[in-house]
Structure 1
Amino acid sequence: MYHSVGDCSDDPYRVTVTPARLERQLRWLRGRGLRGVSVGELLAARARGAGRGLVGLTFDDGYADFVTDAVALLARWECTATLFVLPGRLGGENTWDPLGPRKPLLTADSVREAHRAGVEIGSHGLTHVDLTDADDAVLHAEVSDSRALLTELTGAPVQGFCYPYGTVDRRVTEAVREAGYDYACAIDPGELSGPHALPRVHVGQNDNALRLFLKYRLHRLRRRPVAGL
């Protein structure tokens, strides 16, 4: 689970890695015989029994620096990823982070550019709200309307959803399932399991080779296999 790729000198939420750090992390993956792919590709490969050696890479929030600083690095290391976008905030900023710093978000054109580069586009909702606190009307708009907008924007079906803030409960997972998503990513979904409650490991600027190895091993130990995959 990544977010922004750029200057991390002011990063109170630890959502940024520098391009140099991202490249070292991708090099570490490839050096271990692993390849980063989109979550959609990973799940399809696992369904065929061919998921060995693949690692799902995700980038949340749809920061503009994904196109300027991450796409070329992913291509250099023969990796792909899933980019979770907020179609209700295209061209805006991350105003949901009260401590800042303000970061520009992707425009409609840059989302299309990422899609043309082979990046899977998924939904992060419309505006980045905690869906567990949303009423039914807001939940439906955030989940269903965002999918429709991104499908229209890219001309491709949107398979994946990502829960803002990682917060999720059974009501929200059911809304995502009913909206037609094939899978959804959380952070630590607790007792929830299955393709609409996928756990992820946060990757940050301080994650060198040793920390990545430990996170990889500890994640496998503490998370039971996801039912249905």
Structure 2
Amino acid sequence: MAAATESTPWIAMYHSVGDCSEDPYLVTVTPDRLDRQLSWLRRRGLQGVSVSALLAAPTREGLVGLTFDDGYTDFLDHALPVLTRHGFGATLFVLPGRLGGDNAWDPLGPRKPLLTADGIREAAGAGVEIGSHGLTHLDLTRADDITLKSEVVESRAALEELTGAPVSGFCYPYGTLDQRTVDTVRDAGYTYACAIDPGGITGPLALPRVHIGQHDTAVRLYLKYRLHRLRRRPVEGI
């Protein structure tokens, strides 16, 4: 494991890869933009990897975790070919309680289809790490104890049965977390969990990430990379 004094690992957060002409939540990048962003990483000598690979590396120098939330079907159509072309790995956080459904939690739309069980298995078969995003994309900090445990525990069990492989990573829907949700994730057996800005909570179950969007050109990526490294405390325990 990396030393506790090493800076916080840089983990990039993506969602949908496709047409971004209607994108009220700014969660979509076009395949061409993704290709340019990954090319920028390569030019800087950085390698995109899954979060598990990032945390397991003897040193995180030169590595960037690439994560894709929600499990949209466009991951297979558009993101995976770009990742494969660059030789990059990634982690895909999916919702086993919404297999073949859509992003009904986004009231403004547009509706985006989610991967089926076969689609998730296809991604896993291509070497993509599969992690849990909960069952149905609820704000877990507002869920009662029974619902919270169901979202965290049952989603892991469902994905392990679906893929036939261990699931070690969790991603908090909306990036929201508190000590109760972190404790539940830990008790469920996850070894790491991704947030956005976890505030005062730190450690491998509260990993901060940097949102990457359509407008993130080379200059913006460089600034996000530098600011992330400068403003974060080391993440102890990984």
Structure of higher RCO (CA pairs closer than 8 Å, 6+ residues apart):
2
Amino acid at match of 1:65: D
Amino acid at match of 1:74: L
Unpaired runs of 5+ residues, structure 1, are: none
Match of 1:215 in 2: 224
Amino acid at match of 2:147: V
Match of 1:226 in 2: 235
Work out which of the residue numbers 144, 166, 171 in structure 1 matches 2:175: 166
Shift of 1:76: 0.5
CA deviation map 1:69-127 (0-9, x unaligned) = 01111011010100000000010000000000000000100000000000000000000
Match of 1:127 in 2: 136
Match of 1:142 in 2: 151
Residue 127 (structure 2) pairs with residue 118 (structure 1): yes
Match of 2:51 in 1: 39
Instruction: Give secondary structure in 1 for the equivalent of 2:14.
Output: coil
Sequence identity, in percent?
73
Q: With the length of structure 2 as denominator, give the TM-score of the two structures.
A: 0.94
Q: With the length of structure 1 as denominator, give the TM-score of the two structures.
A: 0.98
- In 2, distance between residues paired with 1:17 and 1:88? 25
Query: When the two structures are aligned, how many residues end up with a matched partner?
Result: 226
- In 1, distance between residues paired with 2:176 and 2:54? 23
- In 2, distance between residues paired with 1:222 and 1:98? 33
- In 1, distance between residues paired with 2:210 and 2:139? 20
- In 2, distance between residues paired with 1:94 and 1:189? 24
Shift of 1:228: 1.3
Residue 18 (structure 2) pairs with residue 6 (structure 1): yes
Residue 94 (structure 2) pairs with residue 85 (structure 1): yes
Match of 2:74 in 1: 65
- In 2, distance between residues paired with 1:62 and 1:142? 16
Stretches (4+) displaced over 6 A = none
Unpaired runs of 5+ residues, structure 2, are: 1-12
CA deviation map 1:176-228 (0-9, x unaligned) = 00000010000000000000000000000000000000000011111111111
Instruction: Give secondary structure in 1 for the equivalent of 2:119.
Output: helix
CA deviation map 1:6-35 (0-9, x unaligned) = 000000000000000000000000110001
Shift of 1:50: 2.7
Match of 1:21 in 2: 33
Shift of 1:51: 2.0
- In 2, distance between residues paired with 1:227 and 1:12? 36
Q: RMSD in angstroms over aligned alpha carbons?
A: 0.5
- In 1, distance between residues paired with 2:159 and 2:38? 28
